[in-house]
Structures are given as C-alpha cells and as structure tokens.
Amino acid sequence: MARILAVGIATLDIINQVDVYPPEDSEVRALAQRRVRGGNATNSLVVLSQLGHDCAWAGVLVDEPDAAPILAELDRYRIDYSHCRRLARGKMPTSYILHSRATGSRSIVHYRDLPEYDLEHFRRIDLETFDWVHFEGRNPEETEGMLRHLRTQRPDLAVSIEIEKPRPGIERLFPHADLLLFARDYAWAQGYADAAALLRGVAAQAPERDLVCAWGEAGAWALDRDGGEHHSPAFVPPRLVDTLGAGDTFNAAVIDARLHGEDWSASLTRACRVAGAKCGREGLHGVN
C-alpha cells in the first residue's frame, strides 16, 4: 500500500442517462438521473483507494450544500481532504453530463467559477509522508510553483502529471514530472493524429520522462525514458455501459502498476484492463 496525494478538482456531476444522444434543439426525457462526485483527481483517487492505497486530495472545497455528496464519497473511500483549501462562499464546480445508453458515450458541459488550488496551501502539506504525488495539469503557473517546492522538499518523490487538454503554458510543467499522462484532446490540439506521434514529439521537448497517452477504444501507448515504445489494445467489455471517468481510471491504474514495480508493457496492459472493466459498469464503485 502506498500513500498517494492528488492535486486537482472535485465536481458535482449531474448525469442524465438518455436512450441516444439527442439532436440540437430537441426535447428528450432522461431515463435516469444521478448526482455524484466527479472530477479527474478525485476520480483517480477513488480508484486508487479501491486498489488498496492510502489517498489524500488537495483541491478546493466550498462550504455549500453541493459539497455534501462529494464529502460523503471521499469519506466512504477514506480519502483525506484535510489539505484542501476551504472557502466559505461560492459553488462547487458542476458538470452536466449526457450519458448515452446506446453507446456508453458521455458528453460533458462543465461549469466552474471558483479559485484554483494554490501554492500557499500546497506549501502547508507535509510531503514526507507520501510515496507518489499526482497532479491534474491545471493552472500551470501555480502548479509549477508547487512542483518546484516539492522538488526542494522531496527530490526523490515520484510525480505524475495529467495533461488532458491544451492550456496556455501547460508545457512548462513537463520537465518537473517523472511520468506524463496525456489524453487524446491534447494530442489533437497539438495537431497529432495518433498517440505514438504525440509521444515522439513530446520526447523531443521532455527527454528522460516516461510518457503515456490513452486513446479510447484503441487502447494506450507509452514511450519510456529509455526510448522503448509500448502499446496495449483496449479491453472492450461485453457491454459498453459507461465511459465517464475511463481516462481517470486508466491514470490511476498506471500509477498503481508502477508502484507495484510492473514494467511498461505490463503497466499499460493492466491499466487498459482496469479502464475497460470500468467501461462495462456504471460509475467507479467496484473498479479494481
């Protein structure tokens, strides 16, 4: 069991399940509705907790009613939120999600009007107790400050950063990570048509890092720090039920595999297996 800190967000996800994704300007009735905790960093922690790790979250929590289901779930998975920045006023970020029963796809409209987690709060964390720190790559300037601080305190600590979408200045974080976890949206925005091409392009900018890129139903690719290229196909479940959080599950399973000392080929296969199994069930409960 490792002690893992993740820096990133928690959201309230309002998930409407529909038969098929509706045409624009239509009116449809949802088949079911769920209001659950979401957000990349806390999604990954919920999976890591089920994989047996001791997890802590550093993010922003507002004292308002929408925080209740979020806190209840963090408690359920024994995720420590004592390092969070607590605000007396404001709203937790919300995502309005259309989940298509026909394809398992999830379309997300995310709304956020909240300050980001900051260096001032990160500095208060005792990093000595952690084996791994994972960052949801957001707010590059402040995050770079956290990474510099982390390296002065714990030069040896394993650090991963998720690079999900293009954000101005996000590339400045690359040199600070041991492991960079890319998503398709980032690759597309950089003009790459596939994961392997993105990883080769990034390796030129960030040498001596392990680089991973997930690519939905095509599986995932890695380019390790020694230049080795690896690929795992996806593991398609018998029925594609729900792809929300597949990438966050994949990232958690990569971290878990690396903590267990698996090589890159085995790590990718394991992460695709866990993420594929997640796509075969609703939500993140029972994913391990």
| Interface residues toward ligand FRU, by CB under 6 A | 11, 13, 38-40, 43, 95, 108, 110, 244-245, 247-248
Among the listed ranges 4-12, 132-140, 172-180, 234-242, the one in contact with ligand ADP (CB under 6 A) is 234-242
Say if residues 272 and 256 touch (Cβ distance below 8 Å).
no
Rounded to a whole number of angstroms, the distance between the first and last alpha carbons of the chain is 14
Closest residue to ligand ADP, based on beta-carbon distance: 247
Place of tokens 């024994």: 78
- Tell me the closest approach of the beta carbon of residue 25 to ligand ADP, in angstroms: 26
| Residue 11 contact among ligand ADP, ligand FRU, none, beta carbon within 5 to 8 Å by kind | ligand FRU
Site string for ligand ADP, 140-179 (x = CB under 6 A): ----------------------------------------
Among the listed ranges 6-14, 21-29, 143-151, 217-225, the one in contact with ligand ADP (CB under 6 A) is 217-225
Nearer to ligand FRU, 251 or 269 (CB): 251
Which residues, including other chains, have CB under 8 Å from residue 188's CB and lie 6 or more apart? none
Quote the CA–CA distance of 44 and 221 in Å, as a whole number. Answer: 19
- Tell me the closest approach of the beta carbon of residue 288 to ligand ADP, in angstroms: 15
Single out the residue of 125, 175, 181, 178 nearest to residue 153, CA to CA: 125
By CB under 6 A, tell whether 279 contacts ligand ADP.
Answer: yes
Nearer to ligand FRU, 95 or 100 (CB): 95
Nearer to ligand ADP, 119 or 277 (CB): 277
| Residue 38 contact among ligand ADP, ligand FRU, none, beta carbon within 5 to 8 Å by kind | ligand FRU
By CB under 6 A, tell whether 8 contacts ligand ADP.
Answer: no
Quote the CA–CA distance of 181 and 189 in Å, as a whole number. Answer: 15
- Tell me the closest approach of the beta carbon of residue 185 to ligand ADP, in angstroms: 8
By CB under 6 A, tell whether 240 contacts ligand ADP.
Answer: yes
By CB under 6 A, tell whether 58 contacts ligand ADP.
Answer: no
Sheet with 54-58, strands from edge to edge, namely 54-58, 3-7, 132-136, 158-163, 179-182, 210-214, 220-223, 229-232
- Tell me the closest approach of the beta carbon of residue 10 to ligand FRU, in angstroms: 9
By CB under 6 A, tell whether 183 contacts ligand ADP.
Answer: yes
Binding site for ligand ADP (CB under 6 A): 183-184, 214-217, 219-220, 234-236, 240, 243, 246-247, 250, 272, 275-276, 279
